[in-house]
Amino acid sequence: DAAGKSGYDHYMRKEIAEQPRAIRDCLRGRVTELEGTVSLPELEGLETPSSVQFVACGTSYHAGLFGERLLRRRGIHAQTFVASEYDAAEVPIDDGTLVVGITQSGETADTMRALRGAGRAGATTLALTNVVASSAARECDRVLYIRAGPEISVAATKSFASQQVTLSLLANALADTTSRAHLRELRRLPEYVQSVLDDTGTREVAEALADADAYFFIGRGDNAPVALEGALKLKEISYEHAEGFPAGELKHGPLALVTPNTPVFAIVSGRSKTAETIGNVNEVRARGAPVVAVTDDPESVAPHTEYVLEIPETRPSVVPIVANVQLQLVAYWLANALDRPIDRPRNLAKSVTVL
Ligand code: G6P
């Protein structure tokens, strides 16, 4: 119904637009910027874990890949598992292990099974979820709500941003020291996301490229998970073939598929890594592929690419949250140009409650 969509044509578009508000809600009462502290009463009494294991599916898995980097950077061993592979991974657990189930719905069967197994093996379990009193929230030892608000569209958008922000808080809360600069940038994040939403370049780019054979997404370091998520979002709602990978992997296989009819989306950010990623961009351009850069450095990047989608400058650990919004909009406008149903893609469910 039009009222539920607040005047937008689709819930997905509305939920993309809601992200500044969702991020504010996620941060509310949890950050004291002045003292540089994070307050998460949900974690009270929890000892710093010897290791953290994230278990999740789909978009939530990509949030885990984002979060594990933040923890490792703070000296905490962390690893992410596709929930359905967790048993088979036979990863060691002891009573210092914290297993975090990242699940928007709190009902995904694969994630629930992994959490139950981890709990039986002696780990402390934490649900990072959007849905109050969901199975994950009820069954885990602890729960941290991401506060995204109801998400109707099958493709996850605002819940991903809220997961990333919650994981950023979790990393600061579990580490011995918090980063005041990181917290400051998290507080500014709603403005950064709003500036991406106000910039309307994505529709034009998507419509210009809607007739391609396939789409590739590359990014490195902090932005590698965004490349995976960008491809997942596009394939879910446009039904076009899309693949994402760390930029350096391009030459180890995917490059064989690159032609003038396979656009490449490159997240180019982070001063030290820009040159390497530009090198990858030049490799695909030499094969005729049109390149769309998502970048905070348009001046140095634009000469190398056909299109530029600009993002504001911020810390490397915050860039992935902002860059992803550009790719959400690209996926949305491309699916829209192809006249796909968008909110209810074929064969997919919002919450998969079977193994
Ligand atoms: C389904 C949805 C995805 C979602 C995944 C995990 O496949 O279509 O959008 O990312 O489940 O869902 P969860 O609720 O556990 O985050």
3-state per-residue secondary structure call for 92-159: CCCCCEEEEEEECCCCCHHHHHHHHHHHHCCCEEEEEECCCCCHHHHHCCEEEECCCCCCCCCCCCHH
- In this predicted model, what pLDDT tens digit does every residue of 30-40 receive, in sequence order? 998 777 899 99
Q: Mean pLDDT, to the nearest integer, of 5-12?
A: 95
Q: Is the pLDDT of residue 133 over 90?
A: yes
Q: How far, in Å, are 84, 104, 264 from residue 56 at the CA level?
A: 8, 10, 27
The alpha carbon of 6 and the centre of ligand 1 are apart by a number of angstroms equal to 24
Residue 273's pLDDT is what?
Answer: 73
The answer to whether 107 touches 101, Cβ cutoff 8 Å, is no
Q: Mean pLDDT, to the nearest integer, of 295-302?
A: 93
The alpha carbon of 325 and the centre of ligand 1 are apart by a number of angstroms equal to 18
Alpha-carbon Rg of the chain, whole angstroms?
19
Which of 60, 151, 328 most suits a substitution to test ligand 1, by most atoms within 8 Å of the C-beta? Answer: 60
The alpha carbon of 106 and the centre of ligand 1 are apart by a number of angstroms equal to 9
The alpha carbon of 113 and the centre of ligand 1 are apart by a number of angstroms equal to 15
Residue ranges and CATH numbers for the domains of the chain are 11-189 (3.40.50.10490), 199-337 (3.40.50.10490)
- ipTM score: 0.95
Task: Cite the active site residues.
Answer: 350
Q: Mean pLDDT, to the nearest integer, of 154-176?
A: 96
Residue 100's pLDDT is what?
Answer: 98
Among protein residues, the one with the nearest Cα to ligand 1's atom 15 is 103
The answer to whether 241 touches 214, Cβ cutoff 8 Å, is yes
| 105 CA closest ligand 1 atom index | 14
Q: Mean pLDDT, to the nearest integer, of 326-350?
A: 97
Among protein residues, the one with the nearest Cα to ligand 1's atom 7 is 58
Residue 272's pLDDT is what?
Answer: 64
Among protein residues, the one with the nearest Cα to ligand 1's atom 11 is 351
Of residues 211, 221, 213, the one with CA closest to residue 242: 213
The alpha carbon of 181 and the centre of ligand 1 are apart by a number of angstroms equal to 32
The alpha carbon of 104 and the centre of ligand 1 are apart by a number of angstroms equal to 7
Pocket of ligand 1 (CB under 6 A): 57-60, 103-105, 108, 111, 154-156, 348-352
**Which residues are CB-neighbours of 217 under 8 A, at least 6 positions away?**
226, 227, 228, 230, 231, 234, 242, 243, 244, 245, 264, 265, 266, 267, 327
Among protein residues, the one with the nearest Cα to ligand 1's atom 5 is 58
**Which residues are CB-neighbours of 256 under 8 A, at least 6 positions away?**
none
The alpha carbon of 287 and the centre of ligand 1 are apart by a number of angstroms equal to 35
Q: Is the pLDDT of residue 2 over 70?
A: no
Among protein residues, the one with the nearest Cα to ligand 1's atom 2 is 350
Q: How confident is the model at residue 150 (pLDDT cuts 50, 70, 90)?
A: very high
Residue 275's pLDDT is what?
Answer: 87
Which of 103, 105, 346, 355 most suits a substitution to test ligand 1, by most atoms within 8 Å of the C-beta? Answer: 105
Q: Mean pLDDT, to the nearest integer, of 149-172?
A: 97
| 349 CA closest ligand 1 atom index | 8
Whose structure tokens read 């199975």?
135
Of residues 6, 15, 3, 5, the one with CA closest to residue 237: 15
Of residues 26, 117, 25, 113, the one with CA closest to residue 63: 26
CA distance 121 to 53: 13
Which of 107, 350, 355 most suits a substitution to test ligand 1, by most atoms within 8 Å of the C-beta? Answer: 350
The values of phi and psi at residue 62, to 5°, are -65, -35
Q: Is the pLDDT of residue 1 over 70?
A: no
Q: Mean pLDDT, to the nearest integer, of 44-56?
A: 95
- In this predicted model, what pLDDT tens digit does every residue of 253-286 receive, in sequence order? 999 999 999 999 999 997 667 889 999 999 999 9
| 83 CA closest ligand 1 atom index | 15
| 57 CA closest ligand 1 atom index | 6
CA distance 125 to 141: 5
